Structure 1
Amino acid sequence: MQSFRTELENPIVEQDIIDLEKKIRLFREGVIPDEKFRSLRLARGVYGQRQPGVQMVRIKLPYGKMTLQQWKRITDISDEYATSNLHLTTRQDVQIHYVSLDKTPELWSKLEQDGITIREACGNTVRNVTASDRAGIDPEEPFDVTPYADATFRYFLRNPVSQDMGRKIKIAFSSSDKDTAWAFMHDFGMIPKVKVVDGKTVRGFKVLVGGGLGAQPLLAKTVFEFLEEDLLIPYIENVLRVFDRYGERTSRNKARMKFLIQKIGMDEFQRLIAEEYQAVKVKQVKVDAAAWPETTPPPPAVLPAYSIKDPKKYEAWKATNTFEQKQAGYVAAYVKVSLGNIGSAISRQLIEALRPVIADDVRVTANQGLLLKFIQPAHLPYVFSVLEEAGFADPGFDSIADITACPGTDTCNLGISSSTGISKVLESVIVDEFPDLVYNKDIKIKISGCMNSCGQHGIASIGFHGSSMKSAGKVLPALQVLLGGGIVGNGEGRVADKVIKVPSRRGPDVLRSLLHDYEINGLPDELFNNYYDRQGEKYFYELLKPLADLTTLKAEEFVDWGQAEQYATAIGVGECAGVVIDLVATLLLEAEEKLELGGAAIVNNAYSDGIYHAYSSFVQGAKALLLGEGVSCNTQTGIINDFDKHFVETGKFSFGSDFRTLVLQINGNEPTESFARQYFQQAESFYNQAQAYRQKSSEPVQA
């Protein structure tokens, strides 16, 4: 592959991109093993697809914000490097598919020219920081959480604490007690609060930790009813340091923060956080929200001639897709994007036509749509006409007819059965057979291609995830049906119950049965989840049981939605959690790289970062030697303890006291220059000892 020159003003970003190009070249030459390279590229937003030889690139958009120029830049990138399609995700990212690995550094450099990054969009990192799409214009918000979400994103981007954790970390900020960012299902969830202290209004957050979906969903636990705004980011860093050290690293299914809390208990988790506090980089992070640049309305515009083809549809769209902002005289409009897919040509068409009448701040929503802001009410008919012309004027945003679905078996390695194909069919069932439900925003339908819940089926009123079934020795695509999930409010949520598994082709009949039963037996004004609670899980199992009968299967039920050939499971290796590197030489190389990063940080007076890189070098070096002796560890603290057991207590290594005391000096010292330099020298000395030991142990025994 050819090298290229970047034209970026930020030297850190430029070096990052150059390093990616170098690592790709070394991977191609066989110098870097596949496992190590996979971990590296994932942390740069480059994810292997189901199709061999091509990549999905995830573009990280903090709290879903795009300027119009950034939106245009992404469309141009998709045209040049991908398939001219933008896929909007439930994490408020944009994904493009079928990208050549060798082109990713060049692609990244062009994105960065408009301030867009792919860094840490995948892998064992702090993922995209999400927020309620209405943040800043929400009539019910105590204050705008956008500056805090932005500060959190920037603080942890490239932060040494969160570069190589056991698993990913997800952070969300809701704009009000309605909790539209689902704080209860995140590793960290924040809900804005205010209180009056000595006559002054103080901002803060209700903070929840340890939530998550996946195959084993757990609701987050409240750790603060009110944490003052300046203490939020240091608290997150404090917790991440504990998670990094004590979190599982071998079994990916047990490596999320929720499982660490479940394993050791909240009391011990809180004790470890308190123990770590002294080493946190800063004890307060002031977010100057007053200086945050507010989104401004577009200047006065003269609109071109336009017409509305379907006035009735316009009235439905206005009723379901728009709302009044907290800023008097302006409304916002949602764009329903089916399956989150919008072409680059249509995107450019919308950008140019809407530019005169919307703010330069478009939000990707968590249900895979778009939010347009600061529209004058008089301009709403024009906005609708533009969307109508582009084919994106469907009413029913965030209603039962607005189904959330991950890509599933279209591109994902982990997909078991189709999520996009069944989603289209279910939307047709609602629009054609239950048209009045386009106004129903109580019932949410969410679909994932597997149990991992990228489509968020675990918190849906009606959820489905891809699965499979066997009949007469043959495999057929199936759907696990879940019911009763959703938002309660103020950090409380409901996890859906697994009710029954049915063949995928019977998904539409499942939906028909549920909606007809609710229509007939629901009480006046009874919400769906209240109806579900009243009837009970067993009632719905019996209702749907006939659809799970495999004695009545037809030939077409062995073919998945959107496919022409008979179904066969073809699950690849998932990449969401990265991999565990168990090659001794590779681990020692990582220890050396951490030292290089630590030395550079100390030279630049970033003492806390230098200390953490040195700590990581200690751990990686110790892990390498332990693996060389056949000892495998699943946590960093386990590595530290086992090194004492197998190397210090046996006399192979000698320190002033023991390895644990040496390494965990990180907890007992403020991140000062003197400690940083001392600790770095100790890490460097250990690395040299580790290399010498490894070299000696690898030498052939003389006869």
Structure 2
Amino acid sequence: MRNLRQILLEEIPEFKAKGEAFLKGELGKMDFKKVSGGFGVYAHRDGKHFMIRLRILSGVLGKEQLVAICNLAERYAVPMIHLTTRQAIQFHKLSLDNICKVMEEGLEYNLYTRGAGGNYPRNVAMSPLAGLMKEEAFDVVPYAMAANAYFLQRINTYHLPRKLKVSFTSDKADGSQATVQDMGFVATLKDNKPYFKLYLGGGLGRNPRKGIPVDRLLPAEEALYALEAMVQFFTHEGDYEHHHKARVRYIADRMGDEAFVNCFWKYFETAKVKGGLDFSPEMPKYTKVGKTVEINHIAITSQKQEGLYSYYFHPLGGQLDYRLLRKISNLIEPMTDVHVRLSMGEGLYLVHLDGEEVQQVAEALDADNYLLGVEQTRSCIGVPICQMGILESQKALKAIVDYFKAKGNIKKSLPPIYISGCPNSCGVHQIAGIGLVGNKKKIDGVLTGIYDVYMKGKCTVGETHLGELIGEVQEDQLPGFLYDLASKIEATHQSFDQYMEANKEEVEQLLSK
């Protein structure tokens, strides 16, 4: 990685020159975005400040890197840190000079931003508790990390039609959303040997698609050949002319599922002939001696390692400042083998805690943890920061939580709500029990903010389905609609799914008020 670091360091001055041209008005917004995205940087809506996205490889964050992130955030007075829906960390509201300093100094700690945006392979996602779950097929951590290394080694050389998203999942809960990615690897066992069930050509956003389940199982040691096959497939068959039809899923639409899968396997066989990508990892050994305690806590999960636990921390809307992140860092610093795993839900796990440590962590962090009812709501950044945003999705999230709390009941009858401030699905609304999408329309001649309401989305292996659009609600009426819905469900003593199955028309009427 030393040579890669040097290459990336040498790219920064050229990036900065483009940024300066943008700030002077010499380079247009979209032309700058074409350059900046590949560096993991996007301009804010005000045209003066910037966001930088740190690739946290498969969400695994060691103590040294966590300290480095805290130091960078404090040194450059980062006012807002965002935990994303793809296991990354974003710094917001920075000057161009400070963006470049974060980019440069982060490389010292293997904190990469290259390819965190733009038409590049993105951070490889992974089940956040891979290797720790009792009901997993096998530990996918080494495979996800090998995939990250494979992409990073050549990250500055890619010329893809659009972004490429890859995920590794180790259990049926699909914690990395592998069933709705461009390429998903789902761990499975056959004759007690590790294989991957592949899901190809999925994706959220405009014209979403579930991944095509591939019948032929992939021996786990051939995972990197499959990656190389997908890169070559996408490079040769993707659409470079039409930006909005350039994702992998449009190739599947054009070819049809069967021909698409067959074509992928042709590229796979070509990669195999070239060779050099066999991968048989030494599986991680977890040696920490645990301490078992009796505990019943919403944020705490027992690991398959006896006497060890994970604690899930979810800041409201995925937003936190460096002081809170520093508190977490200082808390785990003396704890043996404890590290951070970022989730796909704008939160983080502290893993490998023994019974005493997990109680200490809960006591320290519970007051800042949002896990009850609608507090679990996820949201993209939205307006006024995002250039593409239509509505203020983070403001909507806070309005929902505040409304429920003002009513004196946080309500637990609703599933987690996912909010996207525009149809691009950064809030992954299409796989939510309740998904909300920001939009605008004229009502009585006045341009009004509305949320399209999707329901009954789900993302689990073998049961993934995309949410169904059932109506819309005006922006200012959103909290009241959700509270009324929660109250109706509570009154029936049914689950959300049971209620929706029997009362879909009633919900549609509630939306039409």
**TM-score with structure 1 setting the length:** 0.67
In 2, distance between residues paired with 1:324 and 1:435? 29
1:426 alignment partner in structure 2: 400
In 2, distance between residues paired with 1:503 and 1:37? 34
The Cα shift of 1:236 comes to: 2.3
Instruction: Provide closer, same or farther for how the CA distance between residues 419 and 29 of structure 1 changes in structure 2, counting only shifts above 3 A.
Output: closer
Number of residue pairs aligned between Structure 1 and Structure 2: 506
Instruction: Provide closer, same or farther for how the CA distance between residues 21 and 299 of structure 1 changes in structure 2, counting only shifts above 3 A.
Output: farther
| Kept in 2: contact 1:82–1:97 (CA 8 A) | no
Mapped pair 1:20 → 2:12: yes
2:368 alignment partner in structure 1: 392
1:157 alignment partner in structure 2: 152
Among 243, 253, 259, which residue is 1:252 paired with? 243
The Cα shift of 1:163 comes to: 1.7
| Kept in 2: contact 1:401–1:430 (CA 8 A) | no
| Kept in 2: contact 1:208–1:224 (CA 8 A) | no
Q: One-letter code of the match for 1:210?
A: G
1:622 alignment partner in structure 2: none
Mapped pair 1:528 → 2:496: yes
In 1, distance between residues paired with 2:352 and 2:244? 44
Instruction: Provide closer, same or farther for how the CA distance between residues 495 and 375 of structure 1 changes in structure 2, counting only shifts above 3 A.
Output: same
SS at match of 2:425: coil
The Cα shift of 1:251 comes to: 2.5
1:505 alignment partner in structure 2: 476
Greater shift in the superposed pair: 38-47 or 514-523: 514-523
1:337 alignment partner in structure 2: 315
| Kept in 2: contact 1:82–1:96 (CA 8 A) | no
Mapped pair 1:273 → 2:252: no
Output the aligned Cα RMSD.
2.7
Among 452, 464, 476, which residue is 2:436 paired with? 464
| Kept in 1: contact 2:338–2:352 (CA 8 A) | no
Instruction: Provide closer, same or farther for how the CA distance between residues 274 and 207 of structure 1 changes in structure 2, counting only shifts above 3 A.
Output: closer
Among 426, 441, 447, which residue is 2:419 paired with? 447
1:481 alignment partner in structure 2: 453
| Kept in 1: contact 2:225–2:278 (CA 8 A) | no
- Counterparts of 1:625-640 in structure 2, within 5 Å, are none
- Counterparts of 1:135-534 in structure 2, within 5 Å, are 135-159=130-154, 163-196=158-191, 201-224=192-215, 226-277=217-268, 279-280=270-271, 282-283=274-275, 285-292=277-284, 294=285, 297=288, 318-357=296-335, 359-388=337-366, 391-396=367-372, 400-431=374-405, 433=407, 435=409, 437-438=411-412, 443-487=415-459, 489-521=460-492, 523=494, 527-534=495-502
SS at match of 1:450: coil
Between Structure 1 and Structure 2, the one with more helix by share is 1
| Kept in 2: contact 1:336–1:394 (CA 8 A) | yes
| Kept in 2: contact 1:162–1:244 (CA 8 A) | no
Q: One-letter code of the match for 1:219?
A: K
SS at match of 1:401: helix
In 2, distance between residues paired with 1:376 and 1:29? 52
The Cα shift of 1:28 comes to: 4.6
SS at match of 1:179: coil
The Cα shift of 1:219 comes to: 0.9
In 2, distance between residues paired with 1:20 and 1:459? 37
The Cα shift of 1:145 comes to: 0.7
Instruction: Provide closer, same or farther for how the CA distance between residues 28 and 340 of structure 1 changes in structure 2, counting only shifts above 3 A.
Output: closer
In 2, distance between residues paired with 1:481 and 1:36? 33
SS at match of 1:127: coil
Instruction: Provide closer, same or farther for how the CA distance between residues 295 and 103 of structure 1 changes in structure 2, counting only shifts above 3 A.
Output: farther
In 1, distance between residues paired with 2:232 and 2:63? 37
SS at match of 2:376: coil
Mapped pair 1:540 → 2:501: no
SS at match of 1:331: strand
| Kept in 2: contact 1:405–1:420 (CA 8 A) | yes
Q: CA offsets per residue over residues 236-281 of structure 1, 9 Å max, x none?
A: 2212212122212233221111111011212332343344346437
SS at match of 2:186: strand
Instruction: Provide closer, same or farther for how the CA distance between residues 355 and 26 of structure 1 changes in structure 2, counting only shifts above 3 A.
Output: closer
SS at match of 1:320: coil
In 2, distance between residues paired with 1:403 and 1:115? 31
Q: One-letter code of the match for 2:368?
A: F
| Kept in 1: contact 2:16–2:100 (CA 8 A) | no
Q: One-letter code of the match for 2:448?
A: L
| Kept in 1: contact 2:114–2:155 (CA 8 A) | no
| Kept in 1: contact 2:115–2:155 (CA 8 A) | no
The Cα shift of 1:214 comes to: 0.5
Instruction: Provide closer, same or farther for how the CA distance between residues 530 and 88 of structure 1 changes in structure 2, counting only shifts above 3 A.
Output: same
The Cα shift of 1:500 comes to: 1.2
The Cα shift of 1:445 comes to: 0.7
In 1, distance between residues paired with 2:226 and 2:395? 42
| Kept in 1: contact 2:290–2:307 (CA 8 A) | no
Greater shift in the superposed pair: 83-92 or 104-113: 104-113
The structure having more radius of gyration, on CA atoms, is: 1
Q: Which runs of no fewer than 5 residues in structure 2 stay unpaired?
A: none
In 2, distance between residues paired with 1:49 and 1:234? 38
| Kept in 1: contact 2:338–2:353 (CA 8 A) | no
Instruction: Provide closer, same or farther for how the CA distance between residues 29 and 131 of structure 1 changes in structure 2, counting only shifts above 3 A.
Output: closer
Q: CA offsets per residue over residues 154-190 of structure 1, 9 Å max, x none?
A: 1122537972211111111122122122222111112
In 2, distance between residues paired with 1:137 and 1:27? 43
In 1, distance between residues paired with 2:476 and 2:336? 42
| Kept in 2: contact 1:358–1:373 (CA 8 A) | no
In 2, distance between residues paired with 1:474 and 1:485? 31
- Counterparts of 1:62-73 in structure 2, within 5 Å, are 62-73=57-68
In 1, distance between residues paired with 2:421 and 2:296? 32
Percent identity over paired residues: 25
In 1, distance between residues paired with 2:95 and 2:437? 30
| Kept in 1: contact 2:456–2:468 (CA 8 A) | yes
- Counterparts of 1:514-663 in structure 2, within 5 Å, are 514-521=485-492, 523=494, 527-536=495-504, 538-546=505-513
Instruction: Provide closer, same or farther for how the CA distance between residues 179 and 529 of structure 1 changes in structure 2, counting only shifts above 3 A.
Output: same
Q: CA offsets per residue over residues 375-395 of structure 1, 9 Å max, x none?
A: 22233332122214xx42444
SS at match of 2:312: strand
Instruction: Provide closer, same or farther for how the CA distance between residues 379 and 81 of structure 1 changes in structure 2, counting only shifts above 3 A.
Output: closer
SS at match of 2:392: coil
SS at match of 1:72: helix
Q: One-letter code of the match for 2:243?
A: R
In 1, distance between residues paired with 2:92 and 2:360? 33
The Cα shift of 1:471 comes to: 2.8
Q: One-letter code of the match for 2:487?
A: H
